[in-house]
Structures are given as structure tokens and as C-alpha cells.
Amino acid sequence: MTGSATEAAIRDEILRQTASRGPESSICPSEVARALSPDDWRRLLDPVRRTAAALSREGRVEILRKGKPVPPEAMRGVIRLRAAATDDGGDKR
């Protein structure tokens, strides 16, 4: 997708990439931005981070800082995203 990326497109791409990596691996927000707008990806970094925070609040992804999960409110600096894992009982890690 080139041009403008909608919030829904960003959300779908975050979920697609994190699902493809699984709960043991993570992605960089810039990978999502580059997939959606290869030539103008930097302008999407803030929307990707905002959407990741919303997905984290929903329990769909985890935000990692220095390899450890952090709440969206503590999201600053370099972060990575991964699929939120559930155990057999459906509880988050």
C-alpha cells in the first residue's frame, strides 16, 4: 500500500506480522511502516506506535522495551512488538 495508510490497515499489518513471527519473536514498528509505505515509511511511525498501544490495551500484542513487556503508558524510545501469548487456559503470559 502506498500513500496514506488507514488505522485499519496499520492494525491489520501489525497483527499479520506479529502472528507470522509467533509469540516467541518480535517485530520492529518500522517493519510495519515499511510494508505499508516503502517510500515514505517514516511518517507512519507515530501512527504505528499509537495503533500498537491500542492493540496492547486489547491484549492482542505485547510491547517490548529492552526485551521485557511494558504497558503502553511506558512505551518510549526503542520498542518491539510481539503477539500476545496465551496458555492453554486462555490466560495471557
Query: Is position 30 within any domain?
Result: yes
Whole-prediction pTM value?
A: 0.87
> So what's the pLDDT on residue 5?
86
The distance of Cα 71 from the centroid of its chain, to the nearest Å, equals 13
Query: Is position 91 within any domain?
Result: no
**Is pLDDT at 92 greater than 70 in this prediction?**
no
The C-alpha cell 500498537 sits at: 52
Query: Is position 59 within any domain?
Result: yes
pLDDT in tens, 63-89: 999 999 999 999 999 999 999 976 444
Please count the structural domains in the chain.
Answer: 1
Q: Is the dihedral of CA 19, 21, 26, 30 positive or negative?
A: negative
pLDDT band at 90 (very low <50, low <70, confident <90, very high): very low
- The parent domain of residue 50 ranges over 7-83
At 34, which CATH number? 1.10.10.10
Share of the chain above pLDDT 90, in %: 83
